[in-house]
């Protein structure tokens, strides 16, 4: 695509193909590796099951080179009440003890156990039927990071 700068110079604009992922870096120096959600993604703080409390369709999951975190994404009108984005979980990669793939009904999940000062905790990221690719990609990206930090 061809465009023009404010000074009137002609420049070529290159856009990534539809669906391609472009790595970004935030001001803290973290490199973003993967981002998906909130639609089709559920979060629970236990192993996925029928009678487990979950947060459905309101959490965006972000994997960086240093941490995995989830941000609560509320509808646009929630900003009126200052409830736009809230942190749901924040797991440093170096604190992850184990990751485990879990199939539950028509869903796929990644169960992550991690260390905190008060002991071990866990979070499960569950993808609905159309989000299985996101869960598989998260597992593929997270596995080498966890084994690399676990061997130090």
Domains along the sequence of the chain with CATH: 29-150 (2.30.29.30)
Q: What is the DSSP letter of 49?
A: -
Q: At 102, is the secondary structure helix, strand, or coil?
A: strand
- Write down the pLDDT at residue 4: 59
The CA distance from 97 to 147, in Å, is 10
Q: Which residues of the chain have pLDDT under 50?
A: 13-22, 151-152
Specify the pTM: 0.76
Site of tokens 């404010």: 6
Question: Counting Cβ atoms within 10 Å, is residue 56 exposed (0-12), middle (13-18) or buried (19+)?
Answer: middle
- Write down the pLDDT at residue 84: 59
The CA distance from 85 to 81, in Å, is 11
- Write down the pLDDT at residue 145: 86
């Amino acid at each position: 695509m061809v465009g023009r700068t404010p000074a009137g110079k002609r420049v070529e604009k290159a856009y990534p193909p539809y669906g391609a992922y472009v790595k970004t870096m935030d001001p803290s120096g973290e490199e973003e590796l993967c981002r998906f959600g909130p639609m089709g993604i559920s979060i629970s703080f236990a192993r996925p099951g029928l009678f487990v409390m979950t947060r459905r369709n309101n959490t965006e999951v972000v994997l960086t080179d240093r941490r995995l975190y989830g941000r609560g994404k509320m509808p646009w009108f929630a900003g009126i009440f200052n409830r736009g984005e809230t942190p749901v979980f924040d797991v440093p990669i170096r604190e992850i003890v184990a990751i485990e793939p879990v199939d539950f009904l028509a869903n796929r999940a990644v169960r992550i156990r991690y260390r905190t000062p008060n002991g071990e905790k866990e979070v499960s990221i569950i993808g609905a039927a159309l989000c299985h690719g996101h869960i598989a990609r998260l597992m593929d990206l997270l596995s080498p990071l966890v084994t690399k930090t676990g061997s130090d």
